[in-house]
């Protein structure tokens, strides 16, 4: 399942690394807080190249993260992973940040329709 989450980057946790049966691995967990009346904190894992990418952001940045959510069972217990596969800075067309979760960018960022966009009726 793929979902897009937007929010404020609250915390970048310490990087983890090791060696598994498929070779070396690196993982970087980070926490975002979603906007709205009832904000939620979500811990997301970035693996491999994405682990290095998240370090280019700083706490307080507004980000948009595409994630895959997957659960697995081990010894009659279920574990859920939220894994990032794309991380972007949340910006408007003009390059300024705006509060994520809004239905549209601030006024003035969308160009007016041209004559080609208008319907003939």
* pLDDT for the residue numbered 102: 41
* pLDDT for the residue numbered 83: 95
Q: Which residue has the tokens 């811990």?
A: 43
Q: What pairs with residue 50 in β-bridges?
A: none
Contacts by residues 53-56 (CB-CB < 8 Å, ≥ 24 positions apart): 53/87, 54/12, 54/28, 54/30, 54/84, 54/87, 55/12, 55/15, 55/28
- What's the CATH number for 2-91? 2.40.50.140
* pLDDT for the residue numbered 1: 64
The 10s digit of each residue's pLDDT in 14-61 is 999 999 899 999 999 999 999 999 999 999 999 999 999 998 999 999
pLDDT, mean of residues 88-92: 79
Measured CA to CA, the distance from residue 29 to residue 62 in angstroms comes to: 16
Find out whether 9 and 61 touch, Cβ atoms under 8 Å: yes
pLDDT, mean of residues 68-81: 94
Q: pLDDT band for position 2 (50/70/90)?
A: confident
Domain boundaries in the chain? 2-91
Q: pLDDT band for position 86 (50/70/90)?
A: very high
Q: pLDDT band for position 116 (50/70/90)?
A: low
Find out whether 45 and 84 touch, Cβ atoms under 8 Å: yes
* pLDDT for the residue numbered 109: 46
């Amino acid at each position: 399942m793929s979902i897009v989450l937007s929010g404020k980057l609250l915390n970048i946790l310490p990087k983890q690394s090791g060696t598994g049966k498929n070779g070396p691995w690196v993982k970087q967990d980070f926490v975002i807080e979603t906007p709205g009346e009832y904000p939620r904190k979500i811990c997301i894992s970035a693996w491999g190249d994405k682990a290095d990418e998240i370090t280019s952001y700083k706490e307080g940045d507004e980000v948009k993260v595409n994630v895959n959510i997957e659960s697995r069972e081990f010894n009659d217990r279920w574990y859920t992973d939220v894994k990032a596969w794309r991380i972007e800075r949340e910006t408007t067309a003009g390059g300024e940040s705006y509060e994520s979760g809004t239905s549209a960018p601030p006024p003035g960022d969308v160009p007016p329709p041209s004559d080609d966009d208008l319907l003939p009726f």
